[in-house]
Every structure is written in C-alpha cells, then in structure tokens.
Amino acid sequence: MVKQVYQYAVAFITLVMVIGGGVFAFMSIADYVSPNTYVESFEDYKNMRGYKGEGAVEKEEISEEELRALYDAMIVQQREQSKQYALNSFIKSLGWIIIPLPIFLFFQRRINREKKNRS
C-alpha cells in the first residue's frame, strides 16, 4: 500500500513539474516573439540626458538628431535584452520538462505493470 502511494505521488509530482515547465516554456516563447518592454518617451529621455550631471546647471551640447539616434539605440538594446532574457527563460523551462519527464514515464510504466500483475 505504501509503495503504491509513493509511486502515485512521484508520478503526480513529476507530471505537475512537466506541465509547469510546458506553461513556462510557452510564456517564454511568447515573450520572445512579442517582447514586452517598457520604453520611456523621447521627451523623458531628452530631459534625463539634458544635463551633464546631478546638480550641474550647464546643458550638454547634443543635437536633436544625435539625441534621437541615442534614444533609438537604447530602445533596440532594451528589446534585444528582453528577447535574450526570454530565450534564457525558455532554456530553463526546458529543464523543468526534460528532467522530470523520464522519471514520470518510469513510474507510470511501473504503475501500469503492477496493475496488470494484480489482474
């Protein structure tokens, strides 16, 4: 009886791990395909970049075009970082599928074999 409970418990726990890994993998793929990044507005970026340092009164001499190019580069970098994070998350999620899946299959076969032997 205890052996059966143990086998069912291990099978259930590993199945839950595989399902959770699948859900997290799907969410990571969705984040990779459509990264959800917060991007500040150009006006906020311009106001933050407008001064040389905290407390300084002088403004940097950067043209609007250079500032726009820096802003666009920052947006691209943030999106690439979000994609890289999503890819990293996907690889970690695969671990939650690949590691417990053989254990689940092993215990599931064992449970089925014991059911057949009892019959």
Longest CA span, the chain: 88
Q: From CA 92, how far away is CA 98, in angstroms rounded?
A: 10
pLDDT band at 51 (very low <50, low <70, confident <90, very high): very low
Q: From CA 23, how far away is CA 43, in angstroms rounded?
A: 38
pLDDT above 60 (res 59): no
Share above pLDDT 70 across residues of the chain, in percent, rounded to a whole number = 90
pLDDT above 70 (res 56): no
Domain assignments of the chain as residue spans, ordered by start: 2-118
Q: Which residues, other chains included, contact 64 with Cβ-Cβ below 8 Å and sequence gap of 6+?
A: none
pLDDT above 70 (res 55): no
Share above pLDDT 90 across residues of the chain, in percent, rounded to a whole number = 63
Global pTM value = 0.72
pLDDT above 70 (res 108): yes
Per-residue pLDDT reduced to its tens digit, 79-101? 999 999 999 999 999 999 999 99
Helix (H, G, I), strand (E, B) or coil at 57: coil
pLDDT for the residue 53: 45
